[in-house]
Amino acid sequence: MATIISAKDAGAAVTSKHPFNTSYILGISFISALGGYLFGFDFAVISGALPFLQKQFLLDAYWEGFATGSLALGAIAGCIIAGSVAEKYGRRPGLLVAAAIFTSSSIAMAMAPGRDFFIAARFAAGIGVGMASMVSPMYIAEISPAHLRGRMVSINQLTIVTGILITNLVNYTLRNNGDDAWRWMFGLGAIPAGLFFIGAWWLPESPRWLLKMAKHDKAASVLEKIGGQSFAAELMPEIEKTLHGNTKMSYKAALGKAVLPAVLVGIGLAVFQQLCGINVVFNYTPRIFQSIGASQDDQLLQTVFIGGVNLVFTLLAMLLVDKVGRKPLMLFGSGGLAIIYVIVVRMLGAGSPNVSWFLLSAIGVYAMSLAPVTWVLISEIFPNKIRGAATTIAILSLWAAYFILVFTFPILFDKLKDNTFYIYSAVCLIGFLFILFKVRETNGKSLEELEDIMTKK
């Protein structure tokens, strides 16, 4: 029997007369969020594999950065593909295509005979990551009631960090399995990718997409499973009113005067989440700890610690995002990182092993703020009629910023060493001011209610 809960939420003080089917909502959210797990896998696997790839393919700083960043270039292409597929064919087909790409690219990376083939395969993996990074949180936001949406979308971030932790554990376990250990690191990704593909077949289509395509009966059926007949009857007219008969994805419409403020906020949040610098800690842990004389075993062990802290604080974020609100968490994250990075510079400069504690603190702050909340905000601030195009633009910006970050870090670190983190501290200060003055609170409001808020200047 389905679990029935009240719609009261402490943070937003929302009370609903509808009985919500929590087990159904959780089930489809977790299946969709398996794309996040594979996102985490492809994001993290490079950290453990880089020491082996450097020897296998003789990578210098340039090629190390490009091999890492090629995932982001693929993700940019994946966002464009996902935008078209998700709007024309539905959110569910977008997830299925992403799962198929994840499976094939994992096998291709594991079998790579040379550097260029490997980079091409990692680019393909990035296509899957880009599709999942866009479609999974958008799908979850569109099937979740307002009072649960923050926590449900955060499930996607939870699966990302779970993927990072498990991948780091596997990498550490395989570290002494010879020069070809990296092939197993990448190849094992085909297992969760296959499970994601199977699970995606069971997902219902997004009711908001169904209404956009004038499939009223199917949309009503999904909404009734989520919150009963009264919920469907109440919400359907609200959704239809915001669509205004527009069924085609239009980038021109997404840049129109009325919605441009929301789109610019989304772009700003996406770019800041990457340029804040934390992902260099995830992707280049061995290089950072090598600079203070840590052994290869210790370097890979640090990735496990980082993955564990990331998971614990993401769980904390899921408890807070619908209670504390989005904006306070984002301000905490940007301000906290700006301070911690200054301490990291001092510790790295002194060659102190205690730097690990401050890097773990940075991961914790990021995991309970900028990491999950940015995805939540991007999934909910755009109006229904331009959500696909606007989400594509925002996430394209995110992946472009990620490529810039991870491509430039090895080069900057070779030249500036620990002072590189001063740059990220300055970015975090700018981000704090952007959030303070430009980001509006969205907690506890339906996607339709947010249209009036986010499109106001």
Domain that holds residue 148: 19-203+249-454
Q: Inform me whether the pLDDT recorded for 5 exceeds 60.
A: no
Three-class secondary structure of residue 21 per DSSP: strand
Q: Inform me whether the pLDDT recorded for 3 exceeds 50.
A: no
Task: Please name the residues in contact with 93: beta carbons below 8 A apart, sequence gap of 6 or more.
Answer: 85, 86
Q: Inform me whether the pLDDT recorded for 233 exceeds 90.
A: no
What is the reported pLDDT for 385? 75
Which residue do the tokens 């403020």 mark?
Answer: 261
Within-domain flag for 72: yes
Within-domain flag for 360: yes
Task: Please name the residues in contact with 384: beta carbons below 8 A apart, sequence gap of 6 or more.
Answer: 208, 212, 239, 242, 243, 447, 448, 451
- Is the dihedral angle over the CA atoms 159, 93, 374, 147 positive or is it negative? negative
Lowest mean pLDDT among 9-18, 253-262, 309-318: 9-18
Task: Please name the residues in contact with 211: beta carbons below 8 A apart, sequence gap of 6 or more.
Answer: 219, 236, 239, 240, 243
Burial track 99-112 (b if 16+ CB lie within 10 A, e otherwise): bbbbbebbebbbeb
Q: Burial of 308 by CB count in 10 Å (0-12 exposed, 13-18 middle, 19+ buried)?
A: middle
Long-range contacts of 264-267 (CB under 8 A, 24+ apart): 265/377, 265/381, 265/438, 265/439, 265/440, 265/454, 266/377, 266/378, 266/381, 266/382, 266/390, 266/391, 266/393, 266/394, 267/393, 267/394, 267/397
What would the two tokens of residue 281 be?
A: 């800690």
Long-range contacts of 297-300 (CB under 8 A, 24+ apart): 297/175, 299/51, 300/48, 300/51, 300/168, 300/171, 300/172, 300/175
Q: Inform me whether the pLDDT recorded for 6 exceeds 70.
A: no
What is the reported pLDDT for 445? 66
**What's the pLDDT tens digit per position in 330-373?**
999 999 999 999 999 999 999 898 999 999 999 999 999 998 89
Checking phi first, is residue 214 left (phi over 0); if not, alpha (psi -120 to 50) or beta? left
What would the two tokens of residue 389 be?
A: 């195009």
Q: What is the pTM of this model?
A: 0.78
Which residue do the tokens 């399995």 mark?
Answer: 177
Lowest mean pLDDT among 250-254, 365-369, 439-443: 250-254
Q: Report which residue type is found at 108.
A: A
Averaged pLDDT, 306-319: 90
Which among 365, 269, 378, 266 has a CA at the least distance from the CA of 317?
Answer: 365
* Helix ranges, 111-189 (H): 115-143, 149-174, 181-187
Which among 270, 315, 20, 40 has a CA at the least distance from the CA of 147?
Answer: 20
Q: Inform me whether the pLDDT recorded for 420 exceeds 90.
A: yes
**Mean pLDDT across the chain:** 86
Can you give the CATH number for the domain in which 70 is found?
A: 1.20.1250.20
**What's the pLDDT tens digit per position in 104-135?**
999 999 999 999 999 999 999 999 998 988 88
Concatenating the DSSP letter of every residue in 349-400 gives: HTT-TTHHHHHHHHHHHHHTTHHHHHHHHHHHSS-GGGHHHHHHHHHHHHHH
Confidence of residue 395 (pLDDT cuts 50, 70, 90): confident
> 9 — phi, psi (to 5°)?
-125, 130
Task: Please name the residues in contact with 14: beta carbons below 8 A apart, sequence gap of 6 or more.
Answer: 7, 8, 146, 147, 444
Count of structural domains, the chain? 1
Which among 97, 118, 278, 285 has a CA at the least distance from the CA of 185?
Answer: 118
Within-domain flag for 220: no
Within-domain flag for 143: yes
Task: Please name the residues in contact with 317: beta carbons below 8 A apart, sequence gap of 6 or more.
Answer: 154, 157, 329, 367, 368, 369, 371, 372, 373
- Is the dihedral angle over the CA atoms 16, 21, 24, 30 positive or is it negative? positive
Within-domain flag for 212: no
Within-domain flag for 357: yes
Averaged pLDDT, 208-225: 88
What is the reported pLDDT for 9? 37
Three-class secondary structure of residue 294 per DSSP: coil
Averaged pLDDT, 261-287: 93
What is the reported pLDDT for 56? 92
Within-domain flag for 109: yes
Within-domain flag for 34: yes
